């Protein structure tokens, strides 16, 4: 129980931080799907010097292709590896754990407030951060002449495709970015073709972020995870909720067909009242997947869609396993 409480507290803290981004990122969230604005509108080539408008509306110029990059976000780290640019990565956060090889790279600390001294010592050409990067950290680093860019949270796969293209353009990995996006689109298209063959109605789904004494948290209809569940053919019971907070009474009333939980929480969830009264618990329809594939926006989102679809429509994916 103590392990669960500590884990739940951490998750709730992160959810709260993500939910409060708008309080200090007035410049950061210029548009829902815009992370940076390049001087050109395409991502077909990288030409340096490259001038871009950062997430706070400040114009910056990369004089040449960045060779020393620090990632201040697990999703960014994953994408740098997916783009085959890991040799340029000289720093990561404590939370960057995939692929495993990245653990050998020096950590700069937290995602939102990293260690500025460590970053300066690593002499980066570019720091790439996520939407929860603090304004204070941003101002400290840019005040020292370090170039920083924050990628905002996207709301749908199309936005993530654009983000991957932007990242590829920044670090001169355009061909690789095109390949990653094409592979994601292809996998999702194949999955949805399988779903169309299913003879069953879309199952109702509840995604557990956290539960219990700290409150119940899930992915509301305005979140990216909701979009992934929808792409996988599920009907999110929290689709009419904004943000992450959910009512346990509403969960009991909705009584979803399928529940997805983090692996560390499954046993606790299934044994705790009133969750143990849910039909999905009684019918052994509580599933775990690697939630990093859902929580982090990037190439592995397509894998998450495929894994969820196989849970939602097992009969449509049985032939895949038999081939």
Is the CB of residue 60 less than 8 Å from the CB of residue 141?
no
Q: Count how many residues are written for the chain.
A: 323
Closest CA to 129 of 117, 138, 142, 116: 138
155 and 206 in a single domain? The answer is: no
pLDDT computed for residue 140 by the predictor: 95
What pLDDT band is residue 153 in, cutting at 50, 70 and 90? confident
Residue 298, domain member (yes or no): yes
Residue 6, domain member (yes or no): no
pLDDT computed for residue 60 by the predictor: 86
Q: Which of the pair, 67 or 30, is modelled with greater confidence? A: 67
> Which residue segment(s) compose the domain that 234 sits in?
199-322
Is the CB of residue 18 less than 8 Å from the CB of residue 132?
yes
| Domain end (from 114, 144, 179) | 179
Q: Are strands 50-53 and 37-38 parallel, antiparallel or unpaired?
A: antiparallel
142 and 210 in a single domain? The answer is: no
Tell me: the pLDDT tens digits for 225-248?
A: 999 999 999 999 999 999 999 999
96 and 226 in a single domain? The answer is: no
95 and 167 in a single domain? The answer is: yes
pLDDT computed for residue 167 by the predictor: 94
User: pTM for the full model?
Assistant: 0.84
Interatomic CA distance for residues 21 and 313, integer angstroms: 36
205 and 175 in a single domain? The answer is: no
The answer on pLDDT for 38 being more than 50 is no
Interatomic CA distance for residues 45 and 172, integer angstroms: 7
Residue 3, domain member (yes or no): no
Residue 52, domain member (yes or no): yes
What CATH number is associated with residue 203?
A: 3.40.50.1980
245 and 214 in a single domain? The answer is: yes
Residue 85, domain member (yes or no): yes
Phi, psi torsion values for 99, nearest 5 degrees: -70, 165
Residue 55, domain member (yes or no): yes
161 and 231 in a single domain? The answer is: no
Residue 260, domain member (yes or no): yes
Tally the domains of the chain. 2
Residue 187, domain member (yes or no): no
Over residues 10-19, mean pLDDT: 42
Over residues 177-181, mean pLDDT: 95
Q: Highest-confidence range of 104-113, 124-133, 189-198, by mean pLDDT?
A: 104-113
Interatomic CA distance for residues 101 and 28, integer angstroms: 31
Over residues 75-89, mean pLDDT: 97
212 and 266 in a single domain? The answer is: yes
Residue 50 CB coordination number (10 Å): 19
């Amino acid at each position: 129980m103590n392990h669960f409480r500590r884990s739940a507290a951490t998750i709730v803290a992160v959810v709260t931080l993500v939910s409060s981004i708008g309080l200090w990122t007035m410049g950061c969230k210029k548009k829902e799907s815009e992370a940076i604005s390049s001087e050109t509108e395409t991502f077909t080539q990288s030409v340096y010097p490259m001038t871009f408008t950062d997430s706070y509306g400040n114009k910056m110029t990369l004089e040449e292709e960045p060779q020393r990059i620090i990632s201040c976000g697990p999703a960014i780290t994953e994408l740098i590896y997916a783009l085959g640019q890991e040799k340029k990565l000289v720093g990561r956060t404590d939370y960057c754990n995939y692929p495993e090889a990245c653990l050998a790279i020096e950590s700069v600390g937290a995602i939102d407030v990293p260690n500025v001294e460590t970053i300066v010592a690593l002499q980066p050409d570019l720091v790439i951060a996520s939407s929860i990067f603090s304004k204070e950290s941003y101002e400290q680093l840019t005040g020292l002449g370090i170039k920083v860019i924050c990628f905002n949270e996207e709301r749908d796969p199309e936005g993530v495709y654009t983000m991957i293209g932007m990242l590829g353009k920044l670090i001169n990995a355009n061909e690789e970015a095109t390949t990653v996006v094409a592979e994601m689109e292809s996998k999702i298209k194949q999955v949805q073709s399988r779903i169309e063959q299913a003879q069953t109605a879309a199952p109702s789904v509840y995604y557990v972020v956290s539960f219990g004494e700290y409150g119940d948290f899930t992915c509301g209809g305005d979140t990216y995870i909701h979009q992934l569940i929808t792409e996988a053919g599920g009907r999110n019971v929290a689709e009419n909720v904004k943000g992450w907070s959910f009512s346990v009474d509403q969960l009991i009333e909705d009584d979803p067909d399928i529940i997805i939980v983090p692996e560390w929480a499954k046993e606790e969830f299934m044994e705790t009242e009133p969750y143990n009264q849910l039909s999905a618990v009684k019918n052994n329809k509580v599933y775990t997947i690697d939630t990093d594939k859902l929580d982090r926006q990037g190439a592995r989102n397509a894998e998450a869609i495929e894994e969820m679809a196989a849970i939602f429509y097992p009969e449509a994916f049985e032939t895949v396993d038999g081939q």
